[in-house]
């Protein structure tokens, strides 16, 4: 009897040990990106990319704000956090909103020098109202950059490179948000998310 118990325990140990090691190896290989160092709260710009407002920091490739979260592309992986200088958590690529994925990685290189800057404090306070009322659509500088962005997107699609164009239907935007809410449950929830936070204006 003792020999049988010993054999079972030994077998479980042999099976389980490689699995634990593999999980540790994955975590080590992905790592956590270092915090971003800003001397002052950064300014952002709104990316003219269809029905969803995505914001990015000029001169900082791979850093985006969308729907109350910051997203960061670093070392070939995606991360997210509540604040740009907060604790970054790894997120699977398929959980990153497609409106962010659709922003060309080199878009920051094409920004007009005088493209409208938005203070990140105003972004924190008003992003929800801006998104709901389509605030930026009324400005000429946004319309001009949107047209230019569409021209660049058409050239990318025609030559078969770059990201696919984002959807242009509000129904898809609503579906995207529903999918995000579902994906935030369980193990996909951000470690700092808790029960979520109420968005103010």
pLDDT digits (tens, 9 = 90+) for 71-107: 999 988 999 999 998 889 999 999 999 999 888 888 8
Integer Cα distance of 77 and 63 in angstroms:
12
pLDDT computed for residue 151 by the predictor: 81
Contact predicate 77/144, CB 8 Å: no
Integer Cα distance of 78 and 176 in angstroms:
18
45 Cβ partners below 8 Å, 6+ apart? 55, 56, 57, 58, 111, 115, 116, 117, 118
Q: What value does the mean pLDDT take over residues 44-69? A: 90
Candidate from 18-27, 37-46, 47-56, 172-181 with smallest mean pLDDT: 18-27
- What is the percent of the chain with per-residue pLDDT over 90, rounded to a whole number? 33
pLDDT computed for residue 198 by the predictor: 42
- Go through 94-128 and write b for each residue having 16 or more CB atoms within 10 A of its CB, e for each that does not: eebbbbbbbbbeebbeeeeeeeeebebeebeeebe
Q: What value does the mean pLDDT take over residues 108-114? A: 82
Q: What is the pTM of this model?
A: 0.63
Higher pLDDT residue, 26 or 107? 107
pLDDT computed for residue 152 by the predictor: 75
pLDDT computed for residue 162 by the predictor: 43
| Residue 195 Cα distances to 16, 30, 154, 174, angstroms | 33, 26, 41, 21
Q: Where are the domains of the chain?
A: 31-188
pLDDT computed for residue 176 by the predictor: 53
Query: Residue 9: is its pLDDT beyond 50?
Result: no
Candidate from 24-38, 118-132, 141-155 with smallest mean pLDDT: 24-38
Mean pLDDT of the chain: 73
- What is the percent of the chain with per-residue pLDDT over 70, rounded to a whole number? 61
């Amino acid at each position: 009897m003792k020999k049988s118990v010993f054999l079972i325990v030994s077998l479980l140990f042999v099976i389980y040990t490689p699995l634990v090691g593999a999980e540790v190896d994955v975590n080590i290989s992905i790592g956590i990106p270092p915090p971003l160092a800003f001397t002052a709260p950064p300014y952002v710009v709104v990316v003219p990319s269809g029905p969803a407002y995505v914001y990015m920091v000029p001169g900082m490739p791979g850093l985006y704000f969308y729907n109350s979260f910051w997203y960061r592309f670093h070392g070939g992986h995606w991360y997210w956090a509540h604040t740009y200088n907060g604790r970054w958590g790894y997120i699977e690529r398929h959980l990153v909103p497609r409106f962010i994925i659709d922003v060309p990685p080199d878009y920051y290189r094409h920004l007009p020098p005088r493209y409208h800057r938005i203070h990140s404090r105003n972004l924190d306070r008003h992003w929800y109202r801006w998104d709901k009322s389509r605030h930026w659509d009324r400005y000429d500088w946004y319309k001009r950059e949107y047209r230019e962005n569409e021209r660049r997107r058409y050239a990318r699609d025609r030559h078969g490179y770059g990201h696919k164009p984002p959807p242009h239907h509000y129904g898809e935007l609503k579906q995207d948000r529903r999918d995000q809410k579902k994906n935030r449950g369980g193990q996909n929830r951000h470690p700092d998310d808790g029960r979520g936070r109420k968005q103010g204006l």
